[in-house]
Amino acid sequence: MGLKIGGYELPEYSVMMSVYDQELPENLNESLESMLMQSYPPSDFVLVCDGKLTNELNIIAKSFQDEYKTIFRIIQINENVGVGKAYNIGIEACKCDYIVKMDSDDISMTNRCLKQMALFAIQPELDIVGTFVEEFNSETGETVSVKKVPVLHDDIVEFAKRRNPFNRQTVAIRKQKAVSIGGYSDLKLCEDYEFSARMIRNGAKCQNIPEVLVRYRINENTVDVRKSSKHTKAFIKVRWMIFRAGDTSFRDFLIPCMTQIALFILPRRFTAWFYRRFLRHSDEKRTAKTKKNKHK
């Protein structure tokens, strides 16, 4: 049975994490620990190994499995299949109807799952619950920025026309709804945005908790990844898929794509500045603009 708070019984939940051989052992250890030491702990934990891991990563995974024998399960995939397929294998393996996703190098606040499950208990119609995220320097631990996203369902739907309305590192989902839409696509990049858009298209009810409940590591390579040709192509491909599905107008497809292409072409220093100055603060502005338009 789940925990009771304020007359509401919190649902039990599974944690799903995917890891591959490029992860740093210390990051995986800290990430696993942050989820297993939650104030409202999971009833089930699925770690999907996307391909063979290094000895160091295997040792860490097995040590947690030994310590949390009753809940911790390792799903081994012999070859690297990519994030989307790994997530689907993990979703299928989860025992609970609520699944909290976790990246293998991030850190969850101790009350993250308590707050997400409490929201599911209070609003049982919800299918996706995310939170704000804090980006921090992996070398110094210093906070770099806070990424805010729209909170309420209508604002989330509007925001999704141009960008992912959820911080992918923070999402908790209802398994039944995710399975009903076919889970994640086989995309290896930007699969989280495509999944969110398809959930919304199929009637998913959404909300974000306006608090930082996950800390996300960034380093010197983060900007290079975000402006790379590989990321830019994936970015445009997913937005084209969403446009073709009828979720956005051509304008809403074109503007983010042109912005991404500009960031790909322009110098690295400009991309880093633009990302911090605009993309990390435009979320709140766009939500405020939506609310203003509603009251006209």
Superfamily of domain 4-294: Spore Coat Polysaccharide Biosynthesis Protein SpsA; Chain A (3.90.550.10)
Supply φ then ψ for residue 250, to 5 degrees: -65, -35
pLDDT at residue 258, as a whole number = 87
Q: Give the chain's mean pLDDT.
A: 87
CA distance 191 to 166: 12
Under a CB-based contact definition with an 8 Å cutoff, are residues 212 and 111 in contact? no
Classify strands 128-137 and 172-174 as parallel, antiparallel or unpaired.
Answer: antiparallel
Tell me the per-residue pLDDT of 40-76, one tens digit each, with 9 for 90 and over: 999 999 999 999 999 999 999 999 999 999 999 999 9
DSSP 157: H
Classify strands 14-19 and 98-103 as parallel, antiparallel or unpaired.
Answer: parallel
Q: What distance, in Å, lies between the first and last C-alpha atoms of the chain?
A: 47
Six token digits for residue 25: 């052992």
Question: In 32-177, where do the E strands start and end?
Answer: 44-50, 72-77, 98-103, 107-108, 128-137, 143-147, 172-174
Cβ contacts of 135-138, under 8 Å, gap ≥ 24: 135/215, 135/216, 135/217, 135/218, 135/280, 136/215, 136/216, 136/217, 136/218, 137/218, 137/219, 138/27, 138/217, 138/218, 138/219
Six token digits for residue 133: 């995220």
Tell me the per-residue pLDDT of 37-48, one tens digit each, with 9 for 90 and over: 999 999 999 999
Tell me the per-residue pLDDT of 116-157, one tens digit each, with 9 for 90 and over: 999 999 999 999 999 999 989 888 888 888 999 999 999 999
Segment 197-204 mean pLDDT: 95
Q: Which of 69, 75, 71 is nearest to 87 (CA)?
A: 75
Q: CA-CA-CA-CA torsion for 276, 277, 282, 284, nearest 10 degrees?
A: 80
Tell me the per-residue pLDDT of 235-261, one tens digit each, with 9 for 90 and over: 899 889 999 988 888 998 898 888 878
Helical H segments across 69-190, by residue range: 83-93, 112-122, 153-159, 175-180
What pLDDT band is residue 224 in, cutting at 50, 70 and 90?
A: low
N residues, the chain: 296
pLDDT at residue 220, as a whole number = 65
